[in-house]
Amino acid sequence: MPRRLKQRLPHSWLVRLCVAVAALVAAVGVAPTSSGAQTTSAQCDRRVNDTPSKLVDCIRTDDLWNHMKAFQAIADANPGPDGMPSRNSGEPGYKASVDYVAKLMRKAGYNVTIQPYKFFYYAYTARPTLREISPTPQDYALADVWNPGQSTGSATADLQPAGGIVVPPTPNPSSASGCATSDFSGFVRGRIALIQRGTCNFGVKVLNAQAAGASGVIIFNEGNPGRTSAMSGSLTDASGNRIVPTIPVAFTSFDVGNNLLTEYQQAAHGGTALPVMNLSIQAIVNPNADDYNVIAESKGGDKNHVLVVDAHLDAIYGAGMLDNASGSATILDVAQKMKKVHPRNKLRFIWFGGEELGLLGSSYYVNNLTPSELNRIRYDLDADVTATPNYLIGVLDPAGPDLFGRTVTAKFPERVYKPSQVSRDQSIDYFNSIGMKHELFSPVGTDAYSFNAAGIPASGLLTGQDCCKTQEEVDLFGGHLGNYEGKIPSSDGGCVDNPFRWCDNLSNNDPKVLTFMSKAFANTVVRMAFDKEVMSVSDNSVAKRKPPIAAEAGRRFVAK
């Protein structure tokens, strides 16, 4: 954990800041959406787009979509270990994406640095399978009723439940199955262990099963309200450290586990053959893989007042065209259209890696700045998913609820929150001006959180994933309820967060949504590039804080 810089901010500073924020918000005008057809793309490329009206007018669908097509082509040309198109961190498609962005930013005249770092890489080499061989032969539907844990290996063996299973479940928490070594008393080595969710970390259950000689593990959901469907879980030990078992681990719904338990009990009591299961998870594990951030700075602008404009460049599974080639295309186009601008504040465009794995790139970047370098960063703007067909219009606000949990999970001091409202309100004013509604979301789960956690004001835009639109959002923005399967509530990620659908491709994006969101983002970028108030406030001391990193994916709920 990096040390924290502690400095008590004087009350007068806060007063000055609040006054400055109020003055700036009051002065914000609204950019027109377009000045029409009289400006060609060639003219946009030649002129200095240093006002909202100029820059917003020059954000064009064709330019944005050309970047999107390039990212899709990169994914197609660089399949991952599973043979599917990929731009995942640690794979050739991600590095090719890095090179594509870096080349264009150098051509546009920015000073470009590629920042390397190491990370833990895990990738499937084949589609995981879970089958019951007997007495009821069946293949279990991946993602619908079960998900693989980050593990490796294959097993075909009799099933045996661990101790501590509580069926029917009692009020939460119900089960502590597998949490103690005594739960495996009498376990027959070589069998596949059936364990119920509850009480302790999943990795603790698996380690106990492995020590008892289990050849595989099936963990089924607990069965209480909210704990019935297929789940995914991080495999961590009692101290929260990642483990990658060398026996396969499956997470299933309560119904799957309960049915298997019933079959076992019937066989044990009737003297018939026990259920026979087959579980296979094939994967590559590299604890020291390479990943990269692309950093591109404007040659002009005050180096003591830096505006960071970021998006994450990595995918979570596959091509990652919605999440987040779309946001990457947004900031790339904005940067190109601002190449002749001489901003008041230095512009630093960053494409982060490893966001889907727990904000790895932005966390590494922030935590490897010196105190002086960190203090020079006065603001961050984040573009994270900007082309969802079944969209919402989300504006980042440090006091907002997070996208999936819909609850406020993080709080920040006034010196972070108050100036974060400046860009937030610029975006709200812009959407109001074009007759569109909005809602507020926390930066939790986005790279903006890494900056807020370090004491740096931030905002940004998003359109939500293709997973979990609520009725309230349908009422606000149109579209339809649901996720990939049409279920509500759910946060399975649809095309985006599921490793076995391979459908977050170009067709999972709407060019019209990408355009109006990119225009809105451009509006606030150019305003903050010339801001004289918030970006110039003195004594902007920040405190280094390392954001928490989930074991599997930064946006996922890590269940127990």
Instruction: Tell me the pLDDT tens digit for each residue of 528-552.
Output: 999 998 887 644 444 444 443 333 3
DSSP string for residues in 133-178:
EESS-EEPPBTTTEEE-S--EEEEEEEEEPTT--SS--SSS---TT
Q: What is the pLDDT of residue 423?
A: 97
Nearest to 220 by CA among 151, 274, 281, 164: 164
- Please compute the mean of the pLDDT values over residues 41-61 and round it to a whole number: 95
What average pLDDT does the segment 405-424 reach? Answer: 87
Instruction: Look up the pTM and report it.
Output: 0.86
Q: Among residues of the chain, what percentage have pLDDT more than 90? A: 73
Concatenate the DSSP letters of all residues of 357-375 into one string: GTSHHHHHHHHTS-HHHHH
- pLDDT tens-digit profile of 230-285? 988 999 999 999 999 999 999 999 999 999 999 999 999 888 899 999 999 999 99
Q: How far apart are the first and last CA of the chain?
A: 25
CA angle 325, 548, 288 (to 5 degrees): 70
d(C-alpha 412, C-alpha 299), whole Å = 32
d(CA 114, CA 99): 9
Give helix 511-529 / helix 414-433 axis angle, nearest 10°: 130
d(CA 437, CA 443): 19
- Each residue's pLDDT tens digit, 103-120: 999 999 999 999 999 999
Q: pLDDT confidence of 7, banded at 50, 70, 90?
A: very low
pLDDT tens digits, 355-388: 999 999 999 999 999 999 999 999 999 999 999 9
Residue 177 has pLDDT above 90, yes or no: yes
| Helix (H) or strand (E) segment spanning residue 396 | strand 394-396
Give start and end residues of each alpha helix (H) in 10-50. Answer: 11-27, 41-46
- CB environment 300-339: b (16+ within 10 A), e (fewer): ebeebbbbbbbbbbbbbbbbbbbbbbbbbbbbbbbbbbbb
Distance CA 497, CA 538 (A): 41
CA distance 281 to 275: 20
The dihedral of CA 121, 126, 132, 133: what is its sign?
Answer: negative
Whole-number Å distance between alpha carbons of 444 and 157: 42
Q: Is beta strand 216-220 parallel, antiparallel or unpaired with respect to 302-312?
A: unpaired
Determine the pLDDT at residue 24: 42
Identify each DSSP E strand in 263-342 by its residue range: 276-281, 283-297, 302-312
**Token digits of residue 87:** 């731009």
- Between CA 379 and CA 384, with CA 380 as vertex, the angle to 5 degrees is 165
Identify the helix (H) or strand (E) that includes residue 70: helix 61-77
Domains of the chain in start order, with CATH, are: 69-120+288-536 (3.40.630.10), 129-281 (3.50.30.30)
Mean of the per-residue pLDDT values of the chain:
87
Q: What is the pLDDT of residue 90?
A: 96
CA distances to 37, 403, 412 from 398, rounded to whole Å, are 38, 12, 7
Is the four-CA dihedral 245, 247, 253, 255 of positive or negative sign? negative
